[in-house]
Amino acid sequence: MSAAPHAPEAAPAAVRRSGLAFSTLAGYGSGNFAFSLLGLVVAVNLQFFYTDIVGLSAGLVSWALLFARLFDAFVDPLMGWASDRTHTRLGRRRPYLLAAALPLGLAFHRLFAPPAVADPAQAQGMLLGYLLALYTLTYFLWTVGAIPYYSLGAELSDDYHERVRVIAVREGFGLAGLLAATILPAYLIHLYGGRAGYAAMGAILGGGTGLFLFLSGVVTRERPEFQGRPAMNPYAGIAATLRNAWFRPLLAAFAASAIAGAVPAVLVIYVSVYIIGTPEWWLRSIPDWLPPWSYYLLLYFTSAVLSLPFWNRLAGRLGKRATWGVAIALAVVTSAACFWLREGSVGYFSLLLVLGGVSFGNYQALPPAMVADLIDHDELDTGARREGAYFALWSFASKAGNAVTGFAALQVLEHVGYVPGMPQTPLVKSWMLWMYSWFPALFYAISGIFLLRYRFGRSELDAAQRRLGRA
């Protein structure tokens, strides 16, 4: 049975907030431009850079990525706990955004500026150590800023539909960051050339990342009534979070979708280069600085941005759960259809990317808004506001899924005979297609099955908020 919050905590929390100004939404959302810009560049470009440019073997790259991301995932609960229990004049979340901004940008730059060696084959250990150290540092700093940032989004409004708007604006900025991450790396790498291009890209985009994150920390204001509440031991807090019966199926659905999306993110450049290739007409008519893989990403994320108003309206009609289910069904179909990609199939892939991008726009906006609703339900049970614990576990599910599946994808390529910079064998191409199509389709379908068990909607949120005094 749900217990009412303790009296000393209930009174300040009884102030209901809604009707946020757009300036508040924009100030908060600007931070996600930074996280998305950095995140996509790392997810898409890093492994290709270290295998095909630096010369580190795909197998060693996969081990470095696995270790760093798993280490980072286990830090998430500690960061969520620290954020929940912080009490400063600036709030619980903002100090971490401000502190992480500039170091994160610098670490991002150095990640793409490894030392040059005459013979990479003789320096695999040194290159592996460098990648491991800088990748771990980058994602540690990411966690210091990101867990408080995403937790803050759940606190800004108490209204069921406005929470979708908060997340939609945030993810709109995030998708703008993704769009920038599809164009700017290709242009900067082409402008400066080779390894120097990657280093320049890291410096310029790292500076932009730090600037936008710092701006978000300066502009956003927190709710003082949520400060000063006791926080559980971080891992006890995770266990308590999992006792929320509605959160478990939601987390499982999200984790399955995260696994589904991880392999295509790792392999999209490889599929573009080694499966579809660059047609002659592309070389004749498209600027040199825009490679096909950059165009594919631009198409995908532009579709995601344009889909946000549609998903917002549909969620108002069908509810969040049913709307996410529609997007999952679309993702299953478009992922499976990628199995029939062939050399030169630019138009076919473009169509699938438009539809897949529309599905991705939903995935960015709806699930985090559903978590925000459940945090009110948790407050009714525990008397605490534990956004940090919830979004730490949410982030852990995403990072662990990305780490394991990204590792597996690169290990498969290594074991079936992938050779960087060379025409690939039919066996390698076949495995690329299987991993890019049927694997994500399967896990999107599993995500939909878990989502069927989630039934917390508008009426349940209203009932919880009435008991909290925020109706």
Nearest by Cα to 462 from 262, 163, 140: 163
104, 137 in Cβ contact below 8 A?
no
* Residue 375 CA, distance from chain mean position: 20
Q: What distance in Å separates the CA atoms of residue 186 and residue 49, rounded to the nearest whole number?
A: 12
Asked if pLDDT for residue 321 goes beyond 80, the answer is yes
Burial class (CB in 10 A: 0-12, 13-18, 19+), 427: exposed
For 446, the token pair is 């599993």
CB-based burial of residue 33 (10 Å sphere; 0-12 exposed, 13-18 middle, 19+ buried)? buried
Instruction: Note the pTM of the prediction, 2 decimals.
Output: 0.74
Backbone dihedral angles phi then psi of residue 422, each to the nearest 5 degrees: -120, 155
CA distances from 217 to 85, 155, 157, 397 (A): 18, 15, 18, 25
When the pLDDT of each residue in the chain is averaged and rounded to a whole number, the result is 84
Distance CA 329, CA 362 (A): 12
Q: Average pLDDT in the 159-181 region?
A: 79
CA 73 to chain centre: 13
Query: Structural domains in the chain?
Result: 24-221+230-468 (1.20.1250.20)
Q: What would the two tokens of residue 8 be?
A: 């000393």
Burial class of residue 125 in the structure, from the number of CB atoms within 10 Å of its CB (0-12 exposed, 13-18 middle, 19+ buried): exposed
pLDDT-derived band of residue 358, with 50, 70 and 90 as boundaries?
very high
Cα 190 from Cα 291, distance rounded (Å) = 9
Instruction: Report whether 9 contacts 230 (CB < 8 A).
Output: no
CA distance 93 to 104: 17
pLDDT exceeds 70 at position 233: no
Distance, CA of 68 to CA of 377 (rounded, Å)? 34
| pLDDT value of residue 11 | 37
Read off the pLDDT band of 229 (50, 70, 90). low
Residue pLDDT, tens place only, 50-97: 988 898 988 898 898 888 878 877 787 788 778 877 777 887 888 999
pLDDT at 1: 34
Q: Please give the Cα distance from 136 to 84 (Å, whole number).
A: 24
Is the predicted pLDDT of residue 228 greater than 60, yes or no?
Answer: no
Exposure string of 340-371, with b = 16+ CB inside 10 Å and e = fewer, is ebeebbbeebeebbbbbbbbbbbbbbbbbbbb
pLDDT at 219: 84
The answer, yes or no, to whether residue 166 has pLDDT greater than 90, is: no
| pLDDT tens track for 106-152 | 999 999 999 988 898 899 999 999 999 999 999 899 989 988 888 88
Pair of tokens at residue 143: 């966690």
**Residue pLDDT, tens place only, 382-409:** 767 677 677 777 777 877 777 788 888 8
The dihedral sign for the CA sequence 169, 175, 177, 179: negative
What's the per-residue H, E or C state across the chain? CCCCCCHHHHHHHCCCCCCCCHHHHHHHHHHHHHHHHHHHHHHHHHHHHHHHHHCCCHHHHHHHHHHHHHHHHHHHHHHHHHHHHCCCCCCCCHHHHHHHHHHHHHHHHHHCCCCCCCCHHHCHHHHHHHHHHHHHHHHHHHHHHHHHHHHHHCCCCCCHHHHHHHHHHHHHHHHHHHHHHHHHHHHHHHHHCHHHHHHHHHHHHHHHHHHHHHHHHHHCCCCHHHCCCCCCCHHHHHHHHHCCCCHHHHHHHHHHHHHHHHHHHHHHHHHHHHHHCCCHHHHHHCCCCCCHHHHHHHHHHHHHHHHHHHHHHHHHHHCHHHHHHHHHHHHHHHHHHHHHCCCCCHHHHHHHHHHHHHHHHHHHHHHHHHHHHHHHHHHHHHCCCCHHHHHHHHHHHHHHHHHHHHHHHHHHHHHHCCCCCCCCCHHHHHHHHHHHCHHHHHHHHHHHHHHCCCCCCHHHHHHHHHHHCCC
Backbone angles phi, psi at 51, to 5 degrees: -85, -50
Packed helices 247-271 and 426-436: angle between N→C axes, nearest 10 degrees = 150
Q: Does residue 156 surpass a pLDDT of 60?
A: yes
Q: What is the dihedral of CA 258, 347, 340, 276, to 10 degrees?
A: -90
Report percent pLDDT > 90 for the chain: 33
